Amino acid sequence: MELNLQPLNLPSDNVRPFVIAGPCSAETEEQVITTAKQLAGKGCHMFRGGVWKPRTKPGGFEGNGEKALPWMKRVKEETAMLVATEVATPEHVELALKYGIDILWIGARTSANPFAMQLLADSLKGVDVPVLVKNPVNPDLELWIGALERINGAGITRLAAVHRGFSSYEKKLYRNAPMWQIPIELHRRIPALPIFCDPSHIGGRRDLIAPLCQQAMDLGFDGLLVESHCSPDDAWSDAAQQVTPDILDYILSMLVIREKVDLGEDLASLRKKIDEVDNDLIELLARRMRISRKMGEYKKEKGMTIVQPKRYTEILDKRGAQGSLLGIAPECVKNIFEHIHEESVRQQMEIINK
């Protein structure tokens, strides 16, 4: 399904990065207003605050609910920043709209659930509000696109995606693995869809916010959704990943923002060289496949099986090591050769079964 998209049409549409910042949770009126006032006038364009909080385990702070919505309204009135909050049910949508929330976002646990997404989409019919859809917790691009399609199908054309990383059993450096190839592929498939990066939920740690923001900018993301709290250590949720508005301002001021388009001479001539190398690669692959077919004929004649595991392992190891000497990740070379081998086996099968 092709998405019907329009620009978000917000005051900071043409600014890159478009920054939405604010606390993980709207904890108290004072915390909300203090944080918002500190953020206003810095690099921040819009205020975020979680009113309903999806928590992994019960018994913790699950958000203030409706009680916090007038605080968000006050932020709008007193700072002129627009405000955003997470919605997970039709009831949340109704309340958020009632209190004048300007942007709704859909969290990672909700976008993973098509039933919940459809209910949300139905509740948004006939409403004109921008909606941000976070990636589902699991690394499934189709599920993410499906969630966007459901919202778009309800008539919401001011739509954007938020990359917040993917959950994994083994926690390594990141709280949620970035797997950048997924948002990159989303952008390739739907170029008109703005993409935000949420470095807070990817990193899970304050010191990872700056490098993640820079990476997102280098990859051409449009905006950032960052958690910022007036007193991060005292936060009621996600304390380890929140930064003060001052620190956020510093991080933003240090970002190197590269131009998204540059079709100057140098780039055009480098692209031409890449095209030439790609041509050579395809021709070499075709040559390799012709040899494979000859081997297929030989194996057929001798009554041999096609796959010789020892030889296959030898190719993967040898080429992986060679790649690493030439500065290419051995895993990448192995992946490429796995695909080449798969096609080579298919070609030999064709010969044998002829």
Q: Of residues 175-214, which lie at the interface with ligand PEP (CB under 6 A)?
A: 198, 201
Peptide bond into 17 cis (omega under 30): yes
C-beta of 237: minimal distance to Mn ion in Å? Answer: 6
Main-chain dihedrals φ then ψ at residue 203, nearest 5 degrees: -75, -45
Size of the site for ligand PEP (CB under 6 A): 10
One of 7, 11, 54, 70 touching ligand PEP (CB under 6 A): 54
Q: Is the dihedral of CA 323, 173, 248, 228 positive or negative?
A: positive
One of 17, 22, 50, 323 touching ligand PEP (CB under 6 A): 50
Binding-site partner at residue 249 among ligand PEP, Mn ion, none, CB < 5 to 8 Å by type: none
Interacting span for Mn ion (CB under 5 A) from 130-138, 158-166, 231-239, 331-339: 231-239
Residue placing its CB nearer to ligand PEP in the complex, 228 or 347:
228
One of 19, 24, 119, 333 touching ligand PEP (CB under 6 A): 24
Main-chain dihedrals φ then ψ at residue 250, nearest 5 degrees: -65, -45
Q: Where are the alpha helices (DSSP H) in the chain?
A: 29-39, 69-79, 90-98, 108-111, 114-123, 141-153, 181-189, 199-203, 209-218, 245-254, 265-302, 309-325, 330-352
Residue placing its CB nearer to ligand PEP in the complex, 81 or 197:
197
Identify the CA nearest to 248 among candidates 37, 43, 71.
Answer: 43
Binding mask 140-179 for ligand PEP (x = CB under 6 A): ------------------------x---------------
Binding mask 75-114 for ligand PEP (x = CB under 6 A): -----------x--------------------xx------
First to last CA, the chain: 40
3-state class of 96 per DSSP? helix
Residue placing its CB nearer to Mn ion in the complex, 27 or 238:
238
3-state class of 103 per DSSP? strand
C-beta of 334: minimal distance to ligand PEP in Å? Answer: 32
Under the binding rule (CB under 5 A), the answer on residue 251 touching Mn ion is no
Question: What's the rounded Cα separation, in Å, for the pair 309 and 323?
Answer: 21
Binding-site partner at residue 134 among ligand PEP, Mn ion, none, CB < 5 to 8 Å by type: ligand PEP
Give yes or no for a contact between 111 and 147, defined as CB atoms under 8 angstroms apart: yes
Residue placing its CB nearer to ligand PEP in the complex, 162 or 333:
162
Chain centre to alpha carbon of residue 75: 28
Tally the C-alpha atoms within 13 A of residue 286's C-alpha that lie toward its C-beta.
6
Residue placing its CB nearer to ligand PEP in the complex, 108 or 193:
108
Under the binding rule (CB under 6 A), the answer on residue 51 touching ligand PEP is no
* Token pair of 204 as six digits: 């899970």
One of 86, 198, 238, 249 touching Mn ion (CB under 5 A): 238
> Which residues lie near ligand PEP (CB under 6 A)?
24, 50, 54, 86, 107-108, 134, 164, 198, 201
> Which residues lie near Mn ion (CB under 5 A)?
24, 238
